[in-house]
Structures are given as C-alpha cells and as structure tokens.
C-alpha cells in the first residue's frame, strides 16, 4: 500500500519543528548563561550518551568501591566540579563548599530531591527524607519539637542496652565483629526510644510478642527485612528515572514485613491515646506517643517513624563501627582517649556520673569522632553554637551518607566551577542533577593537609574551625534533626566500653587502612570490623 505524499511531508515538518525548538532553547539558555556571567564546567569521562560512564559506575558498585570510584574522578578530571552525561540525564558533580552551600542553603528553593519520593516511597512513604515543599515542611515541623526535648538522649535507657552489648563481647580475648553488635545495639535503642519497646536484638529472651506474631518472627528477621529493603532503595536511587525497573518480589515482601511491625506499634499508640488510663512505666518519654499527640493519621505516623528509624539505627552504627575500625589501627589514639575518659568518668569498678554536659567536655573524644565518620533546614548556616560531641575525625573520613544529590527545579547557577580556571559561575538548567560527594570533599588536601586520608584526630587541636567543607550531617534547612541524639548515643557507647576494657586490637587478617565500603542509603564496612576487646589485667572489669 502506497503512502500518501502528505505523510513524508508531515514527518519532515515535525522533525524540522523539533530541531528548531531545540535550537531556540539552546539560544535561550546561552543568552541566560551569558547574562549571569556563567562559563561551562570541564566535562568528565561520560562517553557516548553516558553509557560507558554508567557501565564503569555499575562495575564499581559490583566491586563495592563506587564511593572511592566517584571520589577518584575529581583527580581524573582535574577539577572539583565537572559535568557528566548519565544515560539520558545531564549531571554536575561537585566537592566545592560554595556550590554545596548554594544547593543546600542559600539557593535552597532552586533545588529539590527529584524522583527520590518515587524511588523511596515503597518503604519510607511520605516522610522527612522523601518529601519536598509543603509536605516536607509539615513533616519537619511535626518531628522537630521531639528532638528539642531532654528525653531524646535518655542515658539511663541507653545504659540498659549497653549492658546487653557487654554480655555479647567474648570473654576469652577472641576476635569478633563489633560492627554487627553495634547494629544490634542501635536497632534496640532506636526502637525502644521510638516505640517504647525494644525489639530485643541483643537479648532473645526479650523478643516481643509483637514480632512473634508478625511475618518477621523475631528481631533478626525484622533487621534483615529492613536491610534488604534499603539495599533495593539504593539500587532504585542509582537507576534515577528508571527506578521503576527495580521492584522485585523480594523488595516488596521486605517492605510488607517492615510495615507490618511498625503498623502494630502505631495502632497500639493510637489505642493508648483513646484509652489513656494505662500510662507508660515511670512516665518515660516515648517518641511515638508524642507524635500521636500531634496527628492520628496512621500512614503519616508509620512513614515518619520509619524515616527516623532508618537514621537512628544506621548512621549511629556506622559511626561507631568506623570509630573502632580506626582506633584498633591507632593504639596511641585509643590510649589517649581512654586515659581522658577514665580521668573524667572513672572505670567500671569506680564509675562516676556520665552526663550530656560532661560528654561534650572531653575534647579528644570530639576530635576522634570528627576524624572518623557522618549521616543525611530555614536557610541557615550549620549550627555550631553548641560544643560538638566526639565525632569530628571519624565523621570526616567515613561519613555515613557519603554521596547525595539534588535536582534543579528552575534555571539557576552555581557560584564556581566554570571556565578555564574553574572559578566562574556555572549555568544549571532546570532538571539537571547536582551530585556532591561529602566523602571526597572531606579528603581534599587543600582543606585538610597532605595527610587528609590519614586518621589523625590531633588535626582538630591544630584547627578546629571549619565551615561548609565539613558536612557530616548535611546543612541548611534540611540539616539532620537527630544529630545530637546520634552523637550522644555514640559518645556514651564509647565511654562505657572504654570504662570496661583497656585494650583494643585489630583482628582483621588484612591490615587495610581504608575499609571496603558497603553503601546502600548509609555507608558501612562490607567485611565488618574485626577486633579484640579485653582488659589486660586478665579479667574483665565488668
């Protein structure tokens, strides 16, 4: 059958219109960029349609080195900001503090989370980590008051879980994976704080009737389902606009199991509000009960509890794991920190009171944590009005949320990165992804010295003042609400362990100084953290 002569003509006209539209748009953006004095950034090694770059990143993910791979690209390109093609999307990636400050704070309204809500919705729903705009503002206003209360860091509650942790540490000086124990500790303490009842990961006799009745069966089943769901969320995030392709049965089942547990606690809290005769034992503060006083929407309660549970478990466990990874490899740092802690708090035989204020008053504890690891906002600078707790060096080297991104909601610009010297503004077209690597920025030698990749807490004695080049808890309006909770829990755990044990040894058969990273939504040590922890006197002080 012959085509009508008009068909090729219509096709040619459509093609011509699309080409003309493309050229008009290019001219429009060119003029806008010139008016803003913008210069293009140096291009990165994307390849044809970004396919080779995507393949190399996928290979690095399989090899569990993609965080390091992304950091290496800044040296490969020779710029702290460069552009890339990521399949069908254009991306800018940066480790310039000025650019990150613009994205997170001073130009906050110009950027959004992009498709993160769709990517994370199956597990986290409508929560503080997934929403933009009015939805995010509402979620933050709902949660923020709960993190200003003294009860947020309940040291007495935490100590109960520390006692269980101590019982799981081998008494025969044998090696063990302390990261596994830290993830049990933080899941128990986080669920206790949030729900008023621990899931009992560290004490099987405490496994709740709730879990026994649910599909997860026990605390380990709940932890496994939660971790599996997060692994798939990370894969959906890396897939960007193709996130919907990552939706296997295992992912859906893990989400269902996690939701079943949290829904039970939500329904219990709602019933308690409607029947207020039964008060919590001792009148202790329970996060979920406080939230129920603000809203009775079951889905809103579940979604926000899951968002906080994710941050409360994973980031603190990541920080503690990295702290002991580095301390086990640097005995002088362990010895100095333990000496300062015992001088202030005593040891397990002669303990003295541990308070929030005293935790903040041990400088070397701050230096150690800062040198090790961080996690993931009113347009305001980072709040440095309060003395930090002990996380600087660990949070610097192994931030729990090492890489993040935003998407431009309008045509805008970034302050630096363009032109021959990389100091001119960059034009950012609506829809462009702006990725930033806190991990790589924390290792820049121009900020941190030639030993930037080395664990050396003393650098914070030499220069403890840093701005946007140190960003373990994000910044601007979305700065982490729970950072004081996380730092208090980490600090208290370090103190209590050092009171009981005077010797920490690295038990990793591979004496690596840089851990293999397993990063889903937060970063952890892929091979765990193998150590020996004991009292050199021959018997434990506990």
Q: What is the pLDDT of residues 259-307, one digit of tens each?
A: 999 999 999 899 888 876 655 555 667 889 888 988 999 999 999 999 9
CB 340 within 8 A of CB 366: no
What mean pLDDT do residues 472-487 have? 86
Domains, the chain:
37-534 (1.10.630.10)
Quick check: 12 pLDDT over 80? no
Q: Are strands 433-437 and 89-94 parallel, antiparallel or unpaired?
A: parallel
Mean pLDDT of the 399-426 span: 95
Q: For the whole model, what pTM was predicted? A: 0.87
Model confidence at 540, pLDDT cuts 50, 70, 90, reads very low
Query: Rounded to whole angstroms, how far apart are CA atoms 194 and 208?
Result: 15
Q: How far apart are CA 483 and CA 185, in angstroms?
A: 17
What is the Cα–Cα distance from 187 to 388, expressed in whole angstroms? Answer: 24
Give the rounded distance of the alpha carbon of 436 from its chain centre.
Answer: 13
Interatomic CA distance for residues 101 and 457, integer angstroms: 25
DSSP string, 312-344: HHHHHHHHHHHHHHHHHH-HHHHHHHHHHHHHH
Strands 176-177 and 530-534: antiparallel
* Angle (deg, nearest 10), helices 331-345 and 363-372: 140
Give the tens place of pLDDT for each residue, 224-237.
999 999 999 988 98
Pairs from 29-33 (Cβ < 8 Å, separation ≥ 24): 29/411, 29/427, 29/429, 32/411, 32/427, 33/413, 33/427
Q: How far is CA 220 from CA 75, 195, 197, 527, in A?
A: 42, 17, 16, 19
Long-range contacts of 168-173 (CB under 8 A, 24+ apart): 168/202, 169/501, 169/533, 171/540, 173/532, 173/534
pLDDT above 70: residue 378: no
Mean of the per-residue pLDDT values of the chain: 85
Indicate whether 538 pLDDT > 80: no
- For the chain, the residue count is 542
Q: Give the mean model confidence (pLDDT) for residues 61-69.
A: 88
Paired with 331 in beta bridges are none
How far, in Å, CA of 531 to CA of 472, rounded? Answer: 25
Site of tokens 């990063």: 519
Of 109-113, 182-186, 315-319, 355-359, the poorest mean pLDDT is in: 355-359
Annotated binding site for heme: 480
Annotated binding site: 480
pLDDT over 70 at 384, yes or no: no
> Residue 84 above 60 pLDDT?
yes
Q: Is the dihedral of CA 290, 296, 302, 303 positive or negative?
A: negative
DSSP state of 469: T
Is the pLDDT at 386 greater than 80? The verdict is: no
Determine contact, residues 79/41, Cβ cutoff 8 Å: yes
Residue 402 and residue 302: Cα distance in Å, rounded?
27
pLDDT over 70 (residue 494): yes
């Amino acid at each position: 059958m012959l085509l009508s002569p008009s068909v090729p003509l219509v096709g040619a006209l459509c093609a011509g219109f699309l080409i003309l539209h493309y050229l008009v748009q290019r001219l429009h953006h060119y003029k806008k960029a010139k008016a803003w004095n913008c210069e293009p950034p140096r291009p990165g090694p994307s390849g044809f349609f970004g396919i080779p770059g995507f393949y190399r990143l996928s290979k690095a993910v399989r090899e569990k080195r993609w965080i390091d791979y992304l950091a290496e690209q800044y040296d490969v390109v020779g710029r702290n900001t460069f552009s890339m093609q990521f399949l069908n999307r254009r991306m800018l990636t940066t480790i310039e503090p000025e650019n990150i400050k613009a994205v997170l704070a001073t130009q906050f309204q110009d950027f959004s989370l992009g498709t993160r809500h769709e990517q994370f919705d199956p597990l986290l729903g409508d929560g503080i980590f997934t929403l933009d705009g009015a939805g995010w503002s509402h979620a933050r206003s709902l949660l923020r008051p709960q993190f200003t209360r003294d009860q947020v860091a309940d040291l007495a509650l935490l100590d109960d879980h520390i006692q269980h942790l101590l019982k799981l540490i081998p008494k025969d000086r044998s090696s063990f994976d302390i990261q596994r124990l830290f993830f049990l500790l933080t899941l128990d303490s986080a669920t206790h704080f949030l729900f008023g009842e621990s899931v009992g990961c560290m004490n099987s006799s405490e496994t709740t009737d709730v879990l026994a009745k649910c599909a997860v069966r026990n605390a380990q089943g709940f932890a496994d389902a939660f971790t599996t769901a997060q692994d798939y969320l990370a894969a959906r995030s890396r897939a960007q606009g193709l996130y919907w392709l990552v939706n296997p049965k295992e992912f859906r089942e893990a989400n269902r199991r996690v939701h079943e547990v949290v829904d039970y606690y939500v329904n219990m809290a709602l019933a308690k509000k409607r029947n207020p005769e039964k008060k919590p034992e001792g009148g202790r503060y329970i996060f979920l009960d406080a939230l129920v006083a603000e809203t009775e929407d079951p889905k809103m309660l579940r979604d926000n509890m899951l968002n906080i549970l994710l941050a409360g478990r994973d980031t603190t466990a990541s920080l503690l794991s990295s702290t002991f990874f580095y301390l086990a490899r640097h005995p002088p740092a362990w010895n100095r920190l333990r000496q300062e802690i015992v001088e202030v708090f005593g040891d397990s035989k002669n303990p003295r009171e541990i308070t929030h204020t005293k935790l903040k008053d041990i400088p070397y504890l701050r230096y150690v944590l800062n040198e090790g690891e961080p996690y993931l906002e009113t347009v305001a600078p980072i709040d440095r009005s309060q003395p930090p707790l002990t996380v600087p060096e660990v949070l610097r080297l192994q931030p729990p949320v090492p890489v993040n991104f935003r998407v431009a909601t309008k045509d805008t610009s970034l302050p630096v990165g363009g032109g021959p010297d990389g100091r001119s503004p960059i034009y950012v077209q609506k829809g462009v992804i702006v990725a930033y690597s806190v991990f790589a920025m924390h290792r820049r030698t121009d900020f941190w010295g030639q030993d930037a990749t080395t664990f050396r807490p003393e650098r914070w004695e030499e220069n403890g003042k840093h701005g946007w080049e140190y960003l373990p808890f994000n910044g601007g309006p979305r700065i982490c609400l729970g950072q004081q909770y996380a730092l208090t829990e980490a600090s208290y755990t370090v103190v209590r362990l050092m009171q009981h044990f005077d010797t920490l040894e690295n038990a990793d058969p591979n004496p690596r100084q840089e851990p293999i990273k397993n990063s889903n939504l937060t970063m952890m040590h892929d091979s765990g953290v193998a150590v020996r922890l004991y009292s050199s006197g021959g018997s434990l002080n506990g």
